[in-house]
Each structure stands twice: as structure tokens, then as C-alpha cells.
Amino acid sequence: MVPPEYGTHRDGVPVTLSRNADENIELCRFSKDGTKLFLFTTVQKGNKTLIAVWDISTWKKIGHKSLYNKPASIVTISLDGKYLV
């Protein structure tokens, strides 16, 4: 469930991220920087594992990077908010 401060639809229902039919959104973390509201998710797409970045103000996916075909079981953000670990 999305924390209320990160936005909901007008009817109060939590936001649902859009995805392609062949994608599964698995892990997620919200950014720690209060000025840049991003959501980071792992996305399983076939045999590929990706990290996707979402702009919380619009709930649009703004990019993704490959995880070198390695599965992820934990994702976190460095203390300074600059790196996914």
C-alpha cells in the first residue's frame, strides 16, 4: 500500500502502478530525499530483472536499468539517498 503522503486518487484508493502484461513488479522502496519523490521497484520481465524508477508526482515510469540477470530479494537505498544497494 502506498503511504498517504505519496498520493492517492481522488476517491482515496491507493495508486496502482501500470505495467506491461509480461512484467511483474516485486520489490519497492521510496526515495529518502524529500525533494525528489521517487519509487524504485524491481521488475521481473521474462528472464530479466530490472530496476524501474517511478515519479511519484505523476505515477509514470521514468526509466529502468538491468540487474545483469540476477534476481533480487532485498533492495534498499544508501543513507545519503544516492544509491540503490
Domain boundaries, given as residue ranges, for the chain: 18-85
Question: How big is the CA angle at 7 (ends 18 and 1), to the nearest 5 degrees?
Answer: 65
* The model's pTM: 0.69
Q: In which residue are the cell numbers 530496476 written? A: 51
Q: Is the dihedral of CA 70, 44, 17, 54 positive or negative?
A: positive
Mean pLDDT throughout 70-77? Answer: 74
Q: Could you read off the pLDDT of 12-66 as tens digits, one per residue?
A: 556 677 778 888 888 888 887 667 788 888 888 888 888 888 888 788 889 988 8
